[in-house]
Amino acid sequence: MSARQDPPSRPTIIHVARAAGVSKSTVSRVLQGDTASVKPETRQAVARAIRKLGYEQNAIASSLRTARTHTVMLIAPDIANPFWSEVTRGLQDTMEHSGYSVVVGNGDWDPHRESQFLKTAQRNRFDGIAINPTIIHCRELRATGIPTVILGIRDGFPQIDMAGSDTYRGTLDALAYLYKMGHRRIGFIYGRYNTDPGYARFQAYADFVKRNHLRADSSLIVEVPFDRAGGERGMQTLLSLSKPPTAVFASNDILAIAAMQRAAQLGVKVPGDVSIVGMDDIYPAAMTTPPLTTMAKQKYEVGCQAAQFLIERIAGKAPREGRRCVLPCRLVERGSCAPSRG
């Protein structure tokens, strides 16, 4: 019987230094990206030794020396929603380009889970946090001591960077589109969780009704969670009115698609009997029957800009005050809207 062989040991920075014929400190400077004090030929020798040995830097040891983990946490409310998948891709692609890894936490619209993810980021000494907070307050984010960026535009976070969409203007544009088609009785499936999310849409709806001298009818506003069941319930409620709306604006595409499905189950034709507009332009919106008209958000770009804010904040190159990047929405006309027959 042959003797058991021990697994080969992982190459260390000392092995790299010996192979390259330099000191351990020189290898360390090369790994840290120091180009000022290390000659190009020395950096090349170290790079060759790293490739030959298959050396991988010990992230834990490195973080102890530099107080950096090169890891950030993204806390999204619903990663199953394709909207957040695209935002995550934008943030991850940009962070990875600068050498950071991204850990994704699905908050699931649960304040307790959000708080636990914040604690995880603190325990593991993450370098940054990107979050769409559902109930977390500014003081809680600042108390972590970790550079943070908010995914979305919110009030009450004056000192924290934000990247998001102009949801208020997007809502006004969606309603104006329906108004131009002759719709005057417009229902609103108002997606909302906890305190702030969705309020810009509500304010825009109220302002639009007032500016266009439409009759304010609270029965046309149905507040629901941001999920499929909420969309179905919202449409069921609106279509059960003695005088149903001729058009409906839904806070996001998940709600709008669910509303279309519920209308079909009730024998109500879209757009023949009721027109529907969503918001976000997630990829399934183009595959519904009929395809959904929606206000498109620049999802990937929001993630990229949030990441850039975070990289600058981590590096200490950002101003003290919080910055705002507000990207416009764009109407995507498909088949779920038609002129009012009333």
> Distance between CA 204 and CA 219 in Å, rounded?
17
Q: How far does CA 26 lie from the centroid of its chain?
A: 40
Residue 287 lies in a domain: yes
Give yes or no: residues 141 and 227 share one domain: no
Backbone phi, psi, residue 102, to 5°: -120, 125
Residue 6 domain flag:
no
Give the separation between CA 156 and CA 72, rounded to whole angstroms.
Answer: 23
Cα–Cα distance for residue pair 308/98, rounded to 1 Å: 9
Can you give the pLDDT at residue 31? Answer: 75
Residue 271 lies in a domain: yes
85 within some domain: yes
Residue 83 lies in a domain: yes
Same domain, 290 and 173: yes
Query: Which two three-digit tokens encode residue 248?
Result: 């409906």
In a domain, 244, yes or no: yes
Are residues 181 and 267 located together in one domain of the fold? yes
Per-residue pLDDT of the chain (342 residues; tens, 9 = 90+): 444 444 456 778 788 888 888 888 888 787 766 677 888 888 888 888 888 877 766 554 454 444 567 899 999 988 889 999 999 999 999 999 988 999 999 988 888 888 899 999 988 889 999 999 887 888 888 888 899 999 999 888 888 999 999 999 999 999 999 999 999 999 999 987 655 555 889 999 999 999 999 999 999 999 998 889 999 999 999 999 999 999 999 999 999 999 999 999 999 999 999 999 999 999 999 999 999 999 999 999 999 999 999 999 998 998 989 999 999 999 999 999 999 986
N residues, the chain: 342
- Tell me whether residue 333 is in a domain: no
Instruction: Tell me: do 289 and 172 sit in the same domain.
Output: yes
Round to whole Å and give the CA distance between 326 and 166. 6
Same domain, 161 and 174: no
Amino acid (1-letter code) at residue 248: V
Q: Are 245 and 214 in contact (CB under 8 A)?
A: no
Give the pLDDT confidence score for residue 235 in this predicted structure: 98
| Total domains present in the chain | 3
Both 53 and 98 in a single domain?
no
Q: Report how far residue 321's alpha carbon sits from residue 161's, in angstroms, rounded to the nearest whole number.
A: 8
For the whole model, what pTM was predicted?
0.79
Closest CA to 79 of 113, 40, 49: 113
Shared domain for 129 and 273, answered yes or no, is no
Distance CA 125, CA 120 (A): 8
| Euclidean distance between CA atoms 327 and 256, whole angstroms | 22
Same domain for 290 and 244: yes
Residues 161 and 171 in one domain: no
Q: What is the pLDDT of residue 7?
A: 45
Q: Write the CATH number for 19.
A: 1.10.260.40
Q: Are residues 86 and 37 in the same domain?
A: no
Cis-peptide into 290, omega within 30 deg: yes
Q: Which amino acid belongs to residue 156?
A: G
In the sheet that holds 275-280, the strands lie side by side as 221-224, 186-191, 247-250, 275-280, 293-296, 330-332
pLDDT at 233 (0 to 100): 97
Q: Does 103 lie in the same domain as 201?
A: no
Give the per-residue pLDDT at 269.
97
**Does residue 334 lie within any of the structural domains?**
no
Residue 9 confidence (pLDDT):
65
pLDDT at residue 124 in the model: 87
- Residues 113, 141, single domain; the answer is yes
Q: Structural domain of residue 304, as residue ranges?
A: 70-165+299-327
The domain that contains 102 carries what CATH number?
Answer: 3.40.50.2300
- Please name the residues in contact with 193: beta carbons below 8 A apart, sequence gap of 6 or more: 77, 109, 134, 225, 226
Query: Would you state the pLDDT for residue 6?
Result: 46
